[in-house]
Chain A
Amino acid sequence: MKHNPQSQPPLSGYFEGERLELVWRYAYRPEFIPLLMDYLGAQPGMRILDMGCGTGFLSRLLAQTFEESWVVGLDADETLLNLGRQMLESHGLTNVELRQGNAYQIPYPDETFDLVTSQTLL
């Protein structure tokens, strides 16, 4: 007997990008964010590449925490990136760029970034 998971969204009006935002929003409690920045080694003024950024949840968090940093989110999924760009606009963030690209062929020369992050990419 072949089983098939229910593929329809559990509730109407949501799609993958919104689901991801919800999952990360609940995982990243406010009290955790300073600890996370410390764990990641993020510092003000860093040039940061967030590989496999999806909707840019972590990119946004890094950019909000360090306004003087420059953050690039890279992901292959243009649909997720588009939702992420809308969110950047609504948050008024100008130090983040979300770009379509492949983690195997990063479209930047070596030494461009001080910190490379990835969240559940592997």
Chain B
Amino acid sequence: MVSAIACFCRSGNLPHYHGRYPLADNHRLDQLDLKLDHAFRRTVRPRLLGVDHSILNLDLLWQFKAAGLQDVQINGHLALISPGDARIPIEEGALYALDRHQKALERLIRMREEHGEELAEDGFSLAEFDELITLKRARHKHLQADPSRVREVMEVFTQPLLIIRGTR
């Protein structure tokens, strides 16, 4: 029996829902985030996954069968995590939120380097990339400066898990 646990975020993240810290340019950050997400899903992600136009064409079962697994089953689980929850210690909640922000920022920077030109052709310019990186850094620094701010917003993150199981 072989079982594997994977995250959706490897193949392009599901949206996670940000609380709104009291920062200027929140609206602009949301606008750019959404625009980039649409461009990435339309232009880059299907190609990376080896499907023509849509993630809906991805055949995970086939991929695991091709690797030699039989009786493949895939189950999903979606955990919702709100680090500002009063049951979670402030420092721990802030650490969780900052870690998720930082990973998202690192992913954004890597995306700019690896796919920036391609996405620019689809309408998301390199200047917009830079602006979004700056805005996300500002949000990260805002929380980093005072971890208790994690309680000021009900930020919710998703942690999707795929459990893939088969025999060989």
Contact = CB atoms under 8 A, between A and B. Distances in A.
A29 B79 contact: yes
A6 B144 CA distance: 11
Interface residues of A, number: 32
Contact of A120 (B5, B91, B95, B133): B5
A66 B165 CA distance: 19
Majority secondary structure of chain B interface residues (helix, strand, loop or mixed): helix
Interface stretch (A32-40, A70-78, A89-97): A32-40
A120 to B, nearest CB: 6
Interface stretch (B23-31, B38-46, B48-56, B104-112): B104-112
A121 B2 CA distance: 13
Interface string A86-122: 0000000000000000000000000000111111111
B142 to A, nearest CB: 12
Contact of A39 (B79, B98, B137, B163): B163
A4 B79 CA distance: 30
B21 interface: no
Given A3-B109, A11-B98, A35 B133 contact: no
Contacts of A35: 75, 77
A10 B139 CA distance: 13
A11 B159 contact: no
B56 to A, nearest CB: 22
B112 A118 contact: no
B2 to A, nearest CB: 5
A28 B113 CA distance: 33
B99 interface: yes
A117 B5 contact: yes
Interface of A: 1, 3-6, 10-11, 14, 19, 22-23, 26-29, 32, 35-36, 39-42, 58, 114-122
Interface of B: 1-7, 10, 73, 75, 77, 79, 81, 91-92, 94-96, 98-99, 102, 105-106, 109, 112-113, 130, 133, 137, 140, 144, 147, 159, 161, 163, 165
